[in-house]
Amino acid sequence: MNQNLHRLISAACDNRATEAELTQLAQLLRDDSLNRDEYLRYVDLHAALADEALPATAFDLVDYRSAVATHGSRRRTARALMGNRSRKTLLLVAAALVIAVVGVFQWNSIGRDLAALPGPIAVASEPSLATMLFSEDCRWPGQEISEGQRLNPGRIDLESGTAVLRFDGGAELILVGPAAIDLQTPGRVLVHRGDIVVRATDGAEGFVVTTPTSRVVDLGTEFAVKVDSTGETEVHVLEGEVSYRGLHVADELSRILRAGEGVAIDENGHPRSVPMNSLRFQDFVNQINPRSRVDLLTVYEGFNYSPGRLPLSHSTVGRGWAGPWRHLLSTGTSRAGDDATAGELTIVHREIQVPWPVPGGRLGMLKLPDGASTYIREMTRPIDLDARTATFFSVMIAAEPIAATGLDGTKPPATRNAERLSLTIASSDDPADTSIAFGYTKNFIPFIQLANGSKFDSPLTMPPTRTSLWIGKIVSRPGGDDEVSLRVYGESDSLDYAEPATWHVDSRNVRLSGTLDRIVLHSEGPNAKIIDELRLGPTWRSVAPISVETALENQE
């Protein structure tokens, strides 16, 4: 590598390069990729050497003054800090120069490549990295964010209210407005201002919170971070430990903060001890007082009719329906043929009892007889898969007990394999091409199946003789991957105030399009099934039968 290149790079890093020298450096970088590699190596080494003189320790916390300034006056300390900042600034300017040069070089090359292509370019969508679990009285200026929505990298501003996010890495974060954060990765967030509380346990350790003055790394704990308008940061450890340091300090000089301790780092990077003063994660949830949002339901069917045979033309109760239930002459889910207006529903009462706080199994429920049967009903408000939406559904399912042996003392042949049940959300215009089916088949294994034939099976097996609660989620994201999920709750399971971290069936990397406006219930096999409490809504809390007491107990 020629000495002239090193001379020019050194002059740029030390802020003594003339305009002519900067122009010459830019030309060298533009013309030769080896020169660009050497430039980046040199700048990286220069920055590392500059950092060696930055921090020194004093007292019981990190002192961010330079080694020379440590024994001098505050005025000399300020000058030293300004000098360090100037070196950092110059490095950034120098780096910006090569980025600009390389950027122009690469863009011109990309432009030539694009011009040679025959058609439009498909740009890869930005992957989402978190889920909005809960929002209460939230105002998002310039944005529309709702519960259940998947979140992409980028800035979120919260004017007022309280929200709970779960990162795909497992950490959960409470955000209290007014606040502004940047979602960066599934394991990192930047807090510009405002208050957050992070709970990062059970595999989510290592979550990183960056602020204008500091970097905090979770070590398996709960902690709170408060950032004011000047950038001053407070860190309060509620449980476990965190590692913290000033933003421009080497990692090896990080300090440990333990439960019950607090530290404040001012806008100049100076830390000081402060009393721990923050609510725990669960205390915030308790204050929010999560409640069911059945008022948001878009579709509801409780089968609240008198027991006995009900003509289909009389099945008109519920919410969000465009007409009564109809019976399909042919079997199948969404691909059945012509509808039959004649027929009836079998309504039964008090055949099942459930632990969840719903009237299911008491006031009325639909009994699907043995054999094959299919019922459909259209919704008044379709689900638009081409818009950014989140739709949840829930339904209670019970199957009659399967006999262990036949009358002659032998096991019934393939009884378990013959049992099938599905709930399909489909398009009435084109059900063969636009549908999402949730159900179980073959030994009671839950599945999700799309109209294109894609099928996703659960690794678990449902108990065949017990009541279960299905909760599903459909997330559509224009220009991005859509997601479909299913969770099956048994009688011993309890429900949380927000959607679960894991689903029993979870499909990723799918693309959905069209509108869904039809519900299809299909059953077959030698045993009857019972359906009750069918709900559709935009949030978990609109369809999950939770009570405040249940939600809080589950968090203890």
Encoding tokens for residue 345?
Answer: 């529903």
pTM higher than the cut 0.85: no
* Residue 330: per-residue pLDDT: 52
Q: Sorting pLDDT into bands at 50, 70 and 90, what band is 36? A: low
Q: At what angle do helices 19-31 and 33-52 cross, to 10 degrees?
A: 120
In this structure, are residues 482 and 434 in contact, taking their beta carbons and an 8 Å threshold?
Answer: no
In whole angstroms, give the CA distance from residue 129 to residue 150. Answer: 7
In this structure, are residues 56 and 63 in contact, taking their beta carbons and an 8 Å threshold?
Answer: yes
Q: Sorting pLDDT into bands at 50, 70 and 90, what band is 185? A: very high
Residue 185: how many other CB atoms lie within 10 Å: 14
In whole angstroms, give the CA distance from residue 226 to residue 216. Answer: 12
- Give 64-121 pLDDT, tens digit per residue: 222 333 333 333 333 333 344 344 434 444 444 444 444 333 333 323 332 333 333 3
In this structure, are residues 444 and 415 in contact, taking their beta carbons and an 8 Å threshold?
Answer: no
Encoding tokens for residue 171?
Answer: 């950490």
Encoding tokens for residue 76?
Answer: 């000399």
- Give 191-206 pLDDT, tens digit per residue: 999 999 999 987 888 9
* Residue 57: per-residue pLDDT: 29
In whole angstroms, give the CA distance from residue 70 to residue 63. Answer: 8
* Residue 107: per-residue pLDDT: 30
- Give 427-464 pLDDT, tens digit per residue: 988 877 789 999 998 778 999 999 988 999 998 887 76
In whole angstroms, give the CA distance from residue 512 to residue 476. Answer: 7
For residue 174, the cross-strand partners are 164, 197
Residue 534: how many other CB atoms lie within 10 Å: 23
- Whether residue 178 has a cis bond before it, omega within 30° of 0: yes
Distance of CA 547 to the CA centre of its chain: 23
Q: Dihedral (C-alpha) 85, 86, 91, 95: value to the nearest 10 degrees?
A: 100
- Identify the three-state secondary structure at position 526: coil
Give 470's contacts (C-beta < 8 A, 6+ positions apart).
393, 394, 395, 396, 397, 423, 438, 446, 486, 487, 488, 489
Distance of CA 27 to the CA centre of its chain: 45
